[in-house]
Structure 1
Amino acid sequence: MRADIVRVEGAPSPTLVLPGDGLPRGALALGKELLGVRRWLDSTGRAQIQKIAFHQPSPHPGFDLEYRFVQRLPDGFNFRSGCGHSLLACVVAARLPGPVRVRALTTGDTVVCEPDPHGGHIVRFTGPWPAAGLLPTGLPLQRLGGLDVSLVRFGNPCVFVDAAALGVHSAAELFAAGIELLLPLLRIRAAAARLLGCAPRSGLPRIAVIGADPSGLLFARGITVNGWHPSLALTGAACVAAAAAIPGTVPHRLAQGPALSIATPGGTAHVSAAVDGPCLGSVAVHGKRAYVLERAVPMPWRIRVTA
């Protein structure tokens, strides 16, 4: 088996992209083969790769590609989360002309990826979704860790914390913050994980601090499995746009319209949402650039698991 390694700007690590159509049914069920992949990554100087994605042509006429994501964790793997950066990595590795219609097997999302005029990609999540159905507790604000936060399930479940409630009033303050801000956020995420029934060490729900400066410009910083995210997860940016369309949420209170620019430590994320009455029609993340770092790398893959 051969793999591609793809870097998407803003992601905390490159993605190892593998063809999924060469695997027998249930080959990933126990994760034993992935332990071999982990050892190979570590022994070949690629230990920084924390994301693994599989793609294959879709048998469904409405889609071009099927994609499955695996998050590498310090003590195992998470098979239940999604990653927009890795989804785009699969599209780039597959070398299909856009627009590419993708069925995300892990999360059930339907996504269209297409090139933009500036050399990047537009990643568009397509609905519709009843806006109220994106609130897992039915409430736009939930009290956790002594703060009013918003829990929104879009792509991945996300927790949004108002920067001002943490005493942070500018992007510079947020981007310079260290462990003193990270620890209370991790406690809020743990409380949200218990509330939503997420596994404690899965990295879900995602959590991000979001604020607005006096000019109204949004700024945000997310947390990944191992600490601060270098920018904001692609699904997290999409979730900001979705949440901004739901009255009463933290992003809605801070946002000034359906098209948003969000300053992050890794650059500005551009997102937009199409709203149709009580429903969200689509959410798009704009201008994502991706690069193939290594093509057709031989993999020491041996299929033994057939559960």
Structure 2
Amino acid sequence: METLHNELLTVEVSDLGAELQSIKDDEGKEYLWQGDDRYWGRRSPILFPIVCGLWKGTYRTEGDTYQMGRHGFARDMNFRVLKKADDRVTYVLSDTEATLRQYPYRFMLSVTYKLVENEIHVIWHVHNTDTREIHFQIGAHPAFNLPGVKEGEPIKGCLRFDRGDKIERIYGNHEGCITDDRYELEGCNGGLWAFNEESFKDGAVIIDKCQLREIEILDPQTARPAVTVSFNAPCVGIWTPYGKNAPFLCIEPWYGVHDHYEYRGQFRDKYLMNHLQPGASFMSEYIIKIGE
């Protein structure tokens, strides 16, 4: 476990999955969900080299068929600390014999956490160390404690989006995959979305086509942002496990999404796939802001 701190935040990160474990403010208040198998045991896994699920758990590339579990393998692997300072840490993961059996590409994935005042900057860097083009998806899955909601109570809350007009969503619950259909996000008014347990009866709320760039979780007592997630990703998922009254909400910037229902095409042609030529790199960042 590595600890980062400045005058406003203290953050802990695990070598396993390079996963955020804790985000506390200067008064010791915890903002990150602490994991509980009764609801969801993880806290902030990194999704790589796929986001969400494959049709029947398989995909086709380079003339062969492979199997890979939901969200890929990075979240369950030990990363190595490359650099460390009081307010930042960089982790790195490279291909192994085990990864090559389910993902036949060589890569180096680095993840940096950097504190800037009351913000956590999460920086992804994917480098193609192979001799051929590689294809990948990457995403975040941080879970935040819902302000004003106690364990066992019905969940409810309000999000503020950086967009005030109509927002369209897609569903990812067609045997774990998506379709081309899009639907207006119900209950969204002027950029505010009041949600409750029933808002997630169809699984994650998935918003693609770069419709959003920032989502705030509002404190019900003050109507001010408790947590803000900013991103440039083409897709974002909003999720809490339906039917459990789990007192947390995930806001998940994604460079990728589920397979389409009954998808039998090539891995490289999946919706929201990223491609790198040999020696090339992909970099992106999302930001978690605590308070205002």
Place the TM-score, normalised by the shorter chain, in its bin: 0.3 to 0.5
User: Taking structure 1 as the reference length, what is the TM-score of the superposition?
Assistant: 0.33
User: Taking structure 2 as the reference length, what is the TM-score of the superposition?
Assistant: 0.34
